[in-house]
Amino acid sequence: MAAGERRTGDLSGVVQLLRDGQPRTRAELGQLTGLARSTVSARVDQLLAAGLVTPAGEASSTGGRPPATLAFHPGARITLAIDLGATHARVAVTDLASTVLAEHLDTIAISDGPGPVLDHVAKVAAKLVEHTGRHTSELVGVGVGLPGPVDHATGRPTNPPIMPGWDDADVAGHLGALLGTPVLVDNDVNVMALGEHATEFADVDHLLFVKVATGIGAGVISDGAIRRGAQGAAGDVGHIAVPGGRDVLCRCGNTGCLEAVAGGRAIAAELAAAGLPALTSADVVALVRSGDVTALRTVRDAGRAIGEVLATCVSMLNPSVIVLGGSVAEAGEHLLAGIREVVYRRSLPLATQHLRIVSSRTKGRAGVLGASTMVVDHLLTSGALEDMLG
């Protein structure tokens, strides 16, 4: 078996096939999975009993009794999806198709540390589950996105620069104990990439999700799956030196980093120096929306700097879609225009001829959609479904 590949059971195989929403007959399931007729029957019966699969009417037939079809029933269980930022916590309850059933957006301070933040989030989450009329016993898992590097295998943050007190914190253990269900943790941008990919670009195999907010980071989808790299640090583009970048000191200690030149705080500082009322990314977006010419020009310049770095990423990874998300990306076309200008000028024609550079379509929900997707993917690829149904 190839490295990184994991053998999954027949139950997961059947659900994976039905996950696209299309009903299928037992015969079709046998054909597509390569399983024997008797095995398909046994697995389908197990899934029917658990409510994960339901009868879905009859297939069309050329004669004789038309065969019954079966469909995935995503409402059978639920997930909790938690998107934590420096100052926000978005919590959602979703079904197994990552449809949001209930959602809550909170202001928090991540710098309060893991104990207070996670205790608060767990309380909000439990209430939210109750609010949907469901029960935490129906959870198949909790997905969490954190604003810093995360060791995905252990679910612990690794020296996260904007999360004082969180280094090596047992986020999965802490939340798991409070909510009584497995918890998966990843970097927020990886989770956003997963969410945008699963819900809006499922047919795209090579996608970069770039978050432009106070910080700048990317999530890499290649051959249909998220690529985290050796230490889970893949996509950490905020501290790449911008070609011709100014000599600005970055919080990482280097100078001329992308984040220090084109991040939300950097843009706000530049606008403030020009006498404009800008402190945060939201202020920058407001100035752009008001049509302030200095703000337009500054945001477009930030786009150009981001484009310099993305041009290299395009040559390296040859994606077919780059999605821009994050609070600064809400400035819209002006940021996109700067990025496009440089990427299309600096990359080879073969890599850009079919490349689309677009704004996020998930309206701020990429994080929770991705956290939910991560949980369901894990359920169906780790053997967890087999364990759950015995």
Cα–Cα distance between 15 and 82 in angstroms, integer? 24
Cα–Cα distance between 168 and 160 in angstroms, integer? 9
Nearest approach, Cβ of residue 312 and a copy of itself (Å): 5
Nearest approach, Cβ of residue 90 and a copy of itself (Å): 26
Secondary structure letter of residue 216 according to DSSP: E
Report phi then psi at 152, rounded to 5: -60, -35
Cα–Cα distance between 15 and 378 in angstroms, integer? 13
Nearest approach, Cβ of residue 379 and a copy of itself (Å): 14
Nearest approach, Cβ of residue 158 and a copy of itself (Å): 6
Nearer to a copy of itself, 213 or 220 (CB): 220
Nearest approach, Cβ of residue 154 and a copy of itself (Å): 14
Secondary structure letter of residue 80 according to DSSP: E
CB count, 10 Å around CB of 258?
26
Half-sphere exposure of 245 (CA within 13 A, CB side): 29
Helix (H) or strand (E) holding 101: strand 100-107
Nearer to a copy of itself, 252 or 272 (CB): 252
Nearest approach, Cβ of residue 37 and a copy of itself (Å): 14
Cα–Cα distance between 262 and 77 in angstroms, integer? 42
Nearest approach, Cβ of residue 65 and a copy of itself (Å): 30
Helix (H) or strand (E) holding 266: helix 264-273
Identify whether the C-beta of residue 188 lies closer than 8 Å to the C-beta of residue 211. Answer: yes
Dihedral over alpha carbons 130, 135, 141, 147 (to 10 degrees) = 10
First to last CA, the chain: 25
Nearest approach, Cβ of residue 33 and a copy of itself (Å): 8
Identify whether the C-beta of residue 140 lies closer than 8 Å to the C-beta of residue 79. Answer: yes
Residues that bind a copy of itself (CB under 8 A): 1-5, 7, 9, 13, 16-17, 33-34, 149, 158-159, 205-206, 218, 220, 222-225, 227-237, 239-245, 252, 254, 308-309, 311-313, 315-320, 346-351, 353-355, 381
Helix (H) or strand (E) holding 259: helix 258-262
Structural Rg of the chain based on CA atoms: 23
Nearer to a copy of itself, 272 or 316 (CB): 316
